[in-house]
Amino acid sequence: MPHDNRDLGREVRDRIKRTGEKYQEALTAIRDGCRFIFADDVERFLAGEGRRGVPHEEAEDKEFLLAGLRNWVSECYTCGDPGDASAEDITIQLVVASYDPDLSPATKLLELRRNHARCAPSQLLWVNQKDLSSAPDHTTMCLRDQSLLEGTFAVTPRSVMLPADLGLDPQVAEPALLINVEVAEDRGRGAAPWLSELERVFWLPAGFSERFTEATVKPGWSVRLVQGYQSSLAPNWVAIRVAESSREDEPPGHLYLGALDIPAAWSEALPATGTRGRILVLVGPRALNREVPLVSAEFEPGQLGELLEDGAFLRAYLPFIHDQVGTQGAPLLGASGYVHGPDGPKRG
């Protein structure tokens, strides 16, 4: 039955009060018979604001979503009861992958939720797709051309203080990252041959050296340290990058991506390192005289210095990004796993 103009005008005004929509949007929705509500931040995202790493032809817009919402009766995500968008206000929530250059370089739409307006507002919910643990990263590396030899290694970074007499400044201990690599599977050869091969075809060509003050790493290598990340498993984590991203929607190549234990003294010494824009990285252990040095879980006083003097680790300065609040990958996760958009949900 066609609307009386006065009745239609009244319905449009009532809808604008409820939803905050513009006049034409409210009029179109009423003529279409639907009562879906899109908050301002949802509208902006569907218009392209805040997206990264998603090609335009793959991005969902409002018209695309509306075309898929023609089944107006659906289960409310919050209460589980059915909701009919032809008879009552139904709010739209979008769950979107939050951007982070290492964790999630594309702001993809993960889920669309429908709720009764009385149960939940329309809003944009950012979620991180990856939570990082402190377990060692297991990586497989091709150690010879044409994949004739592949080694499997467990990679664990450790925050260490380089003794003052071994760093650039003979008066001050220096924060450094030690990348400890263990052979996860030696295939009956023992660990030493694998570590020697790893040094020959991976560490040395990458630029690591015993003469670390002169070591220059290959382009693409860098360290990003994030502190204060709102994650249930890893508030402090590190990305050790070995290659730049080949595409905008892909993360860089990582040697390690995971949690990092940061002692107070190490953290206090970081600001100068961040200002300098580089951090000392130690890699190893090396196989010395066909033997693998014992690297304990906790260094006794002087043990790290002894290992370095023995040549157990190669060294190099790497470009360093000190991300103290995750600013390279905002918005961050909230305590519940989500955060709202920058302006929050809006509904009349």
pLDDT tens-digit series, residues 6-18: 555 676 677 777 7
Strands (E), the chain: 36-37, 73-75, 82-84, 90-97, 109-116, 123-127, 137-142, 150-162, 174-185, 222-226, 237-243, 253-259, 278-284, 314-323, 339-340
Average pLDDT over residues 66-87: 86
When pLDDT is cut at 50, 70 and 90, the band that residue 117 belongs to is very high
Triad 133, 263, 231: Cα angle to 5°: 30
pLDDT at 130 over 50: yes
pTM: 0.75
Average pLDDT over residues 62-90: 85
Average pLDDT over residues 197-219: 86
Q: How far is residue 87's CA from residue 291's CA, in Å, rounded to a whole number?
A: 76
pLDDT at 327 over 60: no
Structure tokens at 303: 């043990």
| Higher local confidence (pLDDT), 197 or 145 | 197
Q: What integer pLDDT is reported at residue 134 of this predicted model?
A: 67
Mind listing the pLDDT tens digit for each residue in 131-180? 676 666 667 666 654 445 677 888 999 999 888 777 666 677 889 999 99
Nearest to 186 by CA among 178, 199, 195: 195
Mind listing the pLDDT tens digit for each residue in 181-192? 988 877 777 889
Q: What integer pLDDT is reported at residue 60 of this predicted model?
A: 75
Number of H helices, E strands in the chain: 9, 15
Q: Of the ranges 50-64, 108-122, 197-211, which one carries the lowest mean pLDDT score?
A: 50-64
Average pLDDT for the chain: 79
Q: What integer pLDDT is reported at residue 2 of this predicted model?
A: 44
| Higher local confidence (pLDDT), 229 or 244 | 244
Q: Which of 43-57, 182-196, 197-211, 230-244 has the highest mean pLDDT?
A: 197-211
Structure tokens at 315: 């060294």
Q: What integer pLDDT is reported at residue 68 of this predicted model?
A: 72
pLDDT at 81 over 90: yes
Q: Of the ranges 17-31, 111-125, 161-175, 249-263, which one carries the lowest mean pLDDT score?
A: 17-31
Q: How far is residue 104's CA from residue 99's CA, in Å, rounded to a whole number?
A: 5
Q: What integer pLDDT is reported at residue 125 of this predicted model?
A: 92
Q: What integer pLDDT is reported at residue 118 of this predicted model?
A: 94
Q: Of the ranges 86-95, 102-111, 202-211, 271-280, which one carries the lowest mean pLDDT score?
A: 271-280
| Higher local confidence (pLDDT), 58 or 333 | 58
Average pLDDT over residues 78-102: 90
**331 with 338: CB under 8 angstroms?**
no
Q: What integer pLDDT is reported at residue 307 of this predicted model?
A: 87
Q: Of the ranges 77-81, 190-194, 228-232, 286-290, which one carries the lowest mean pLDDT score?
A: 228-232
